[in-house]
Structure 1
Amino acid sequence: AGGRQRAAERAVNEQRFDIHRVQGLNLGLSAGAVAISWVVLSPLFAASLAAGAALEAANFRSLRRSCQVIFQSGVSGVSGVSGGGAAMSAFGLRFALLAVAVGLALHLGAHPVGLLIGLSFIVPSVVIAAWMARPESAPATPAPSPDDPSWDEWNPWLAREREAEEDQ
């Protein structure tokens, strides 16, 4: 199990996702939508959209920071680092603060649809950034012949090579 954990940690460390790209895309989408809604719809809708976008940007940064601390300290703090418990508390507190901020914005007269759309801009930003960060597609190679011994080393259920523990 220790080998698998080290391999998983290596895989996480090798996959660097450029968070600045996500935030830049999010800012661009939000600013464009606010400008268009200001002209086409109303200033109230545009302001609500901007408020929702600002709330979700802060929420996303907090979520990312909490997740980094939680994953670096180990699940449930089993690695002995005490930052995991505080990060889990901050993770939950984030939802409460977001709910209070949304409630306050609605109480102050924000347009609910504009606020919701503004809160949702992070989703297409993350999808577009992930698509842009995808690895290059490898050219197709021919499959080995049916009697090739490499088929015995392949686990079709997990789509990877068999480990020594699986053979037993």
Structure 2
Amino acid sequence: MQDTPDTPDTIQEPRRWSDGQWTAQVIKNEDDDGWAVSMTLKGETEPALVGPWTMGRDKKNPKPLDVSAFHTLVKTASEVLRRHEQQLHAQLHKNVAVTVNGQRLRVQLAIVPDEEGATATLSAQDELGEELARVPVPPTFKLTPASATAWAEAGFERPR
């Protein structure tokens, strides 16, 4: 079957499977006599997942990839990427809830990474979600309940 530009490149070989989006590659484990499998997402240079792979019956060669194993590997690699994205989001978007002068506030720090220099914004919302203030801050700003309270008590002036 020849692939058209609209269909993904499908590979189903004993040591290499691809659905056009993900590619599983069985490789020799450099640390021991066993085998490993890597899962790489299309367009990425590094695998999202590398793990041990089962030996075949001859205890020398790897077990061939099959549709069931490939789907399990895709699911696992996708979950690894999802967790990585969630962790990155948590690092770049922090928030705390504080009470200042009897008013409950949610203070957020949003960091935007950039190769030429990251930027960050500090914002405050009231209990109804209405924005009370938004100021630029250094991406190194440490958001804590104490720093959020101090910022609100200072009238939401740009922290130094």
Normalised TM-score (structure 2): 0.25
Q: Which has the higher contact order (CA 8 A, sep 6+)?
A: 1
Higher helix share: 1
The structure number with the bigger radius of gyration is: 2
